[in-house]
Structure 1
Amino acid sequence: MGNYRVLMKMIFLVVFVGWLLVWTLLPTENYKNKWSPKLKSKLNSTYFREQGTNLVLFSFPIMFIAALSCVYLHIQIKKSSKSSKSKSSNVITSGLASWRRPVFVKAPLGIVSAVELCFVVMFVVLLIWSLANYLYVSFGHLHMHGKSVKIWQTKFRSVALRLGYIGNTCWAFLFFPVTRGSSILPLVGLTSESSIKYHIWLGHLSMILFVAHTVGFIIYWAMTDQMAEMLEWSSTYVSNVAGEIAIVIAIVMWVTSIRRVRKKMFELFFYTHYLYTVYILFYVLHVGVAYFCMILPGIFLFLVDRFLRFLQSRHHARLLSARLLPCGAFELNFSKSHGLQYNPTSIMFINVPIISKLQWHPFTVTSNCNSEPHKLSVVIKSVGSWSQKLYKQLSSSSLDHLEVSVEGPYGPSSFSFLRHEALIMVGGGSGVTPFISIIREILFQSTKPNIHIPRITLICAFKNSSDLSMLDLLLPISGANSDRISQIQLQIEAYVTQENEQPKSEAHKPLQTIWFKPSPLDKPISATLGPNNWLWLGAIIASSFVLFLLVLGLVTRYYIYPYDQKDGQFYHYSYRVLWDLFLVCSCICLVSSVAFVLCKRSNAMEDKQIQNVEMSKPTTSPAARSYVAAENKELESLPNQSLIEAIKVHFGARPDLKKILFDSKASDVGVLVCGPRKMRHEVAKICASGLADNLHFESISFNW
């Protein structure tokens, strides 16, 4: 099995490097004058016309990697489920660990590791190389667009045009980070939420290039008295009007996605970002089918993922219960199928139609799929308007059922935190929720023989003492593996920053648990494509792409090509683009729907088996109320007692993160942080300082 995995990794590497090499050679003079004519004569047949070369060189390699990687991930999951995770099997070399450390921590890029910095530099070099070669080739073969146009004006137009080409290169990578169920990101240890910053970087860079491209052409048309070109929608070449519509939409999306605007007016950002569908339409109408095939893989894989998410969200999830905390946070407990597997720090997107039919919000999954096979939990802190409305709905005494739709969960393909000798987890406020899932996973792993369990230190900072109730959620409502908490080395340092003394215990409101009535229309949360999700996804990617090529070839050969052969007639340039978009969407919808229906049958059988399974109500009260004044209360259970003993509360103080991290004596310390931006950057700077070689920063948040 190991040999197959090594072979597949080598195939991925060779194909990907070959794909990047094509992008590197594309702007060169040799490619334009020597290789391109030969490739067009062989690949641009009557079945694909001008799309043939780009489909083979730019689309096929990535689609091949995406489909084959699904098989690789399926094998990896099956192997990891059979083998235990020991310390020796998860050791990484010190050289690789040093490359993952933060080397740059500053706005607007945020926390950047050495690996990320290298790839950023290489990508920028690729763009500079491409622009320089494009201009070198174009300046050597200038095409004068008008008798009165001067040479310097033609060069100015050439620069503006080539800036658009470079922006198109950014677009080739733009959609990979936002494909939540991507089979490519896990190959390099990424998830969609951890790589969303790459989408933002690429978005900003592409917008700068496209705005410069647009402004450059407007200036050129003004200088040469060709402003009428702005209103041209050519039937034989690119549409200027389509490009102008696309850039206006893009600017609206760009402005509302700026961090300051997004933070203050999230709903404005959220709704305007739905304009991406219209943006893609007019963008592709502007660039044409040949350039569309260059950026097709990212868009194709994103559309596959988006349609599968749409199919999953059509069913309402079965909500079993909710735990309301005094601090305004609450835990939602859903029923899930046994075959749904996920790793700690996974997230799930939730939609509550009674609050908003369009808004979807991501939340951390805190339950453990191994110890809680039929339950999935998420924790939500009511800090925004959406979450506050949901908290009020749950607090209503008349509420006995709530319709909720979900997408996911999405998360890392493996759990690697056990490789460290010690773990220091730093969280602020609701930032402690990802660590709940990690601690529950470690509790489960501690039940296995010969497993290395790291020492755990949880540093959490809260504004008020009521926020300490977040620590109640460390113990699952089902009580699974709670008795193991005394057998792991767990230390919790809780800091209450805005209160100087311990409040009276009676000032705390009791935790409230709400149980919902089941509805026959609600379904347990399950993988969209069943237990063999990756294999089905690979089949969908391969089948839909092959079907697209087949139908595109037939349409081109027997409909478009005969039309072009008629005297004096040309098939409309924009209509070819519409055909491509229509066929892409149709093939994805058809193949994905068939696969979803087939998988739904197997999921329905499991749904019937767990439909009557009810979660037993807790018989003990939570622990958080006890550790504030533990000496005045009788400890109710061994798990609660062990948790109380592990917690130390500091009032009116902030954690001295530098002292805590530097005082850690373990040889290999994994440092995880989730919380306010200032806290994340502070921890990252400490780890990047190089003053302690044993600190290994682990990024788990899509906020940077």
Structure 2
Amino acid sequence: MASSGMINAVRTAILLLALVIFLGNIMMWIIMPTDTYYNIWVPHLMAATNSTFFGIQGPIMMDFTFPILLIAVLGCFYLHLGKKENAVTKSSKARSLKFMRRPMIVKGFGIVTLTEMALFSMFIALCVWYFGGYLRHWFEQVHQRSSSKHEKVWQTKLDRVGIVTGVTGNLCLTFLFYPVTRGSSILPMLGLTSEGSIKYHIWLGHLAMALFTIHGSIYFIYWIMTHRLSEALKWGDNYVSNIAGEISLLCGLVMWITSYPKIRRKMFDLFLYTHYLYIFFMIFFILHIGIGFACIMLPGFYLFVMDRYLRFLQSRNKARLVSARLLSCNTIELNFSKSRGLSYNPTSTIFINVPSISKLQWHPFTIISNSNLEPQKLSVLIKCEGNWTRSLYDMLSSPSPLHHLEVAVEGPYGPAATHFLRHDMLVMISGGSGITPFISIIRELIFLNSTLKCKTPKIILISAFKNSSHLSILDLILPTHSSHTPTSNSCNLDLQVEAYVTREKGRHKDQMAKPRTLWFKPEACDMPISPTLGPNSWLCLAAIISSSFAIYLMLLGVFTQYIVYPIDQNTNMLYSYTKKGSASMMFLCFSVVVAASTVFLWNKKRNAEEAKQVQDIDDSGTSGSTSNSSFDQDDVEMESLPLQSIIKSVNVHYGQRPNLKRILLEIKESRVGALVSGPKKMREEVAAICSSGQADNLEFESFSFTW
């Protein structure tokens, strides 16, 4: 207990230090557009640029880049220490500031909490302050600038409004990449996941592109009104490059248009492929504004590039797919081999790529297996609802036997901690394939109850399906038989299942065909899914962030000292912006590749040794038999583990939908977790009930797979 208390104290200290650093970083954003910054701070910053190693880029990195990277490193230590906490301690945290998590339905935003709205409102206020402050500062110089450029005052003001709009867009771009950095140490430190933060990326993307579009439009109007439209074709080698900005804006507009919900859902392939234009968007954006100013938004993009490269390294390995189970409802359960060292929390997701269908498409799926109950298996459930999933189902259900399927994976990604034990009851409400995260939660609670002997909350699972064939998904609630699977004598989980079949009046026997299982013969190059950076992944990530930034600074220092400074003399005007920006981008990529590759290859060697041991066990277990995998010994029909041994009751209701308001308001337990996963309408209905004030005992949590 003393050790646990010490760890908690250290984690609290790390969290407070990270908060102080972040608030200091926000203070820099607030003070930048003020006279205090320009009259007092800038002279000191300019004096600091006498350094011949970094030039004016040095103090900008010190103010904006270094603090965020330091927070990311602190987050790695915070999360590493969190892994040492006892599962019960981690899950039994007292509820605090519950009203801040109360859901609200806001038109245009969907379901948001009071905390999210407060933070977003503060960000909008920061943008308004930033815009207004810069506009006021530069309007003070408008007469002097108007005379020097021989143009009218209103034209000069239009020019200033254009540049201020672009600068404010850069503020949005600064935070744009944090939500899509899947392996981030910053998001889980705040209790967030990348999947759950996609909406922030969408909000920031809309705001940034709106500002950049206005920025570009204003300048075209300005050039036309001042009869200088030829400026649009200039590549300013020692100043802002207009052509680079226009190319960047064009790439951004294509991404913005194809991300419109109706286009994204109907033509997902188009949305996916055009989103790769972010590479050109960022390259030409940096060439447009110069690397010095780009260092303000660099940290978020730096961490994203690092995460993207680590995902690339992991995806080069082919995952060992052991079996596939085809359910009667056009649903697939894929079972992969995994190393025992790979652990993940409930509701985690994994991204899957099948090259024979598409080499570029990666699709996320919720993991339904439990890393404690099933230490050598990782399972996902895939519902056929799009072109990619239908192609996969057709391939697996083909009459000709499929002996091997090449699959690559990225992940798993998920929450850093679970908190389900803090509730007296969990009400899980799902629609269709939305049941998948609840399967993983139930399996985790089975483990906590049977193995750790924890007191677990009562569970009511309310699942709505279109037809009775989907009832077969309920068979996946319990893990298949293994040495870790609980029996009726070892598990006291109180689980009640209420299934609703909305489009049928009764069960159709012809739809309840037995699942068909396909076994694959893995090839020698197929590897069990292993942790990309090993068992101490957070410490390895901290090492990558620190060492790569050190390499970047070293290369940048040498380049500035021996190439830039002899020409530029710290004037920031003589040396080519394009060459400086291109060199900095190459240094950044080189440093990330060297640091990440070194750590990855070191862990890959260890993973290969474990994979060899697993292969030897499989070979010895299958010799003299027709079995293709050691999973054959564990994966038996669900009838061998009676559903009623854990599930107290299973009630199927035909031809009706659940009355969610009645069900939720009738629950009298003091702490109730209302978890919902399914269609938008269902999630909003539950959110409205929880926020109505009629039941203060309900705590809302949503899992969404559409955005």
TM-score, structure 2 as length reference: 0.94
Q: Deviations over 1:526-547 (max 9, x none)?
A: 0111111111010000000111
In the alignment, what sits opposite 2:631? 615
Deviation at 1:452, TM superposition (A): 2.2
Output the CA distance in 1 between the equivalents of 2:94 and 2:367: 26
In the alignment, what sits opposite 1:121? 121
In the alignment, what sits opposite 2:625? none
**Code of the aligned partner of 1:233:** W
Output the CA distance in 1 between the equivalents of 2:375 and 2:317: 20
Cα 1:256–1:44, aligned 2, differ >3 Å: closer, same or farther? farther
In the alignment, what sits opposite 1:111? 111
Whether the aligned pair in 2 keeps the contact of 1:175 and 1:298 (CA below 8 Å) is yes
Q: Percent identity over the alignment?
A: 51
In the alignment, what sits opposite 1:625? none
Deviation at 1:88, TM superposition (A): 8.5
SS at match of 2:139: helix
In the alignment, what sits opposite 2:626? none
2:585 corresponds to 1:593: no
How do 1:175-194 and structure 2 match up within 5 A? 175-194=177-196
Deviation at 1:518, TM superposition (A): 2.1
- Structure 2 counterpart of 1:17, from 23, 37, 57: 23
Cα 1:534–1:372, aligned 2, differ >3 Å: closer, same or farther? same
Cα 1:568–1:70, aligned 2, differ >3 Å: closer, same or farther? closer
Q: Deviations over 1:288-332 (max 9, x none)?
A: 111111011001000100000000000100011111100000100
Output the CA distance in 1 between the equivalents of 2:198 and 2:468: 33
Whether the aligned pair in 2 keeps the contact of 1:221 and 1:229 (CA below 8 Å) is yes
In the alignment, what sits opposite 1:385? 387
Cα 1:402–1:113, aligned 2, differ >3 Å: closer, same or farther? same
Deviation at 1:601, TM superposition (A): 1.4
Identify which range, 664-673 or 603-612, moves more after superposition. Answer: 603-612
2:494 corresponds to 1:492: no
2:53 corresponds to 1:47: yes
In the alignment, what sits opposite 2:77? 71
How do 1:351-430 and structure 2 match up within 5 A? 351-396=353-398, 397-430=400-433
In the alignment, what sits opposite 1:674? 677
Whether the aligned pair in 2 keeps the contact of 1:421 and 1:666 (CA below 8 Å) is yes
Cα 1:478–1:515, aligned 2, differ >3 Å: closer, same or farther? farther
In the alignment, what sits opposite 1:28? 34
Deviation at 1:144, TM superposition (A): 2.0
In the alignment, what sits opposite 1:652? 655
- Structure 2 counterpart of 1:523, from 522, 527, 541: 527
Output the CA distance in 1 between the equivalents of 2:282 and 2:87: 45
Cα 1:147–1:313, aligned 2, differ >3 Å: closer, same or farther? closer
SS at match of 1:650: strand
Q: Deviations over 1:666-699 (max 9, x none)?
A: 1110011111111111111111111110000013
2:313 corresponds to 1:273: no
Output the CA distance in 1 between the equivalents of 2:524 and 2:694: 59
SS at match of 1:699: strand
2:707 corresponds to 1:701: no
Deviation at 1:414, TM superposition (A): 0.6
Cα 1:73–1:88, aligned 2, differ >3 Å: closer, same or farther? closer
**Code of the aligned partner of 2:415:** P
TM-align CA RMSD? 1.9
TM-score, structure 1 as length reference: 0.94
Deviation at 1:43, TM superposition (A): 4.3
Output the CA distance in 2 between the equivalents of 1:242 and 1:44: 29
**How many residues are matched?**
684
Q: Deviations over 1:477-514 (max 9, x none)?
A: 345425259621101111101101232x3542111111
SS at match of 1:513: strand
Cα 1:87–1:453, aligned 2, differ >3 Å: closer, same or farther? farther
Q: Deviations over 1:568-604 (max 9, x none)?
A: 9932111111011010001000111111111111111
Q: Deviations over 1:251-291 (max 9, x none)?
A: 00000001111011111000000111011111111111111
**Code of the aligned partner of 1:164:** G
How do 1:152-551 and structure 2 match up within 5 A? 152-396=154-398, 397-449=400-452, 451-479=454-482, 480-484=484-488, 487-503=492-508, 505-551=509-555
The runs of 5 or more residues in structure 2 that have no matched partner are: 1-6, 619-629
Cα 1:207–1:387, aligned 2, differ >3 Å: closer, same or farther? same
SS at match of 1:363: strand
Deviation at 1:45, TM superposition (A): 1.8
Whether the aligned pair in 2 keeps the contact of 1:563 and 1:569 (CA below 8 Å) is no
SS at match of 1:90: coil
Output the CA distance in 2 between the equivalents of 1:663 and 1:351: 44
Output the CA distance in 1 between the equivalents of 2:422 and 2:27: 36
The runs of 5 or more residues in structure 1 that have no matched partner are: 623-635
Q: Deviations over 1:347-387 (max 9, x none)?
A: 00000011111100000000000111111001000111110
**Code of the aligned partner of 2:613:** Q
Whether the aligned pair in 1 keeps the contact of 2:91 and 2:418 (CA below 8 Å) is no
Whether the aligned pair in 1 keeps the contact of 2:468 and 2:511 (CA below 8 Å) is no
**Code of the aligned partner of 2:496:** Q
SS at match of 1:670: strand
In the alignment, what sits opposite 1:628? none
Output the CA distance in 2 between the equivalents of 1:217 and 1:399: 59
Deviation at 1:61, TM superposition (A): 0.2
Deviation at 1:475, TM superposition (A): 2.1
Whether the aligned pair in 1 keeps the contact of 2:450 and 2:491 (CA below 8 Å) is no
**Code of the aligned partner of 2:700:** F
Deviation at 1:226, TM superposition (A): 0.9
Whether the aligned pair in 2 keeps the contact of 1:329 and 1:382 (CA below 8 Å) is yes
Q: Deviations over 1:399-438 (max 9, x none)?
A: 0111100000000001111111100111100000010000
Output the CA distance in 1 between the equivalents of 2:147 and 2:405: 64
Deviation at 1:44, TM superposition (A): 5.3
Deviation at 1:617, TM superposition (A): 4.5
Output the CA distance in 2 between the equivalents of 1:660 and 1:214: 53
Deviation at 1:644, TM superposition (A): 6.9
Q: Deviations over 1:439-489 (max 9, x none)?
A: 000000002455220000111111011011111111223454252596211
Deviation at 1:700, TM superposition (A): 3.1
Cα 1:381–1:568, aligned 2, differ >3 Å: closer, same or farther? closer
SS at match of 2:500: strand
**Code of the aligned partner of 1:558:** Y
- Structure 2 counterpart of 1:558, from 550, 557, 562: 562
SS at match of 2:514: coil
In the alignment, what sits opposite 1:633? none
**Code of the aligned partner of 1:24:** I
SS at match of 1:195: helix
In the alignment, what sits opposite 2:4? none
Identify which range, 308-317 or 554-563, moves more after superposition. Answer: 554-563
Whether the aligned pair in 2 keeps the contact of 1:423 and 1:670 (CA below 8 Å) is yes
Cα 1:601–1:145, aligned 2, differ >3 Å: closer, same or farther? farther
**Code of the aligned partner of 1:11:** L
Output the CA distance in 2 between the equivalents of 1:416 and 1:84: 9
**Code of the aligned partner of 2:54:** F
In the alignment, what sits opposite 2:101? 100
Q: Deviations over 1:605-635 (max 9, x none)?
A: 211221234113467534xxxxxxxxxxxxx
SS at match of 1:646: strand
SS at match of 1:186: helix
Whether the aligned pair in 2 keeps the contact of 1:70 and 1:534 (CA below 8 Å) is yes
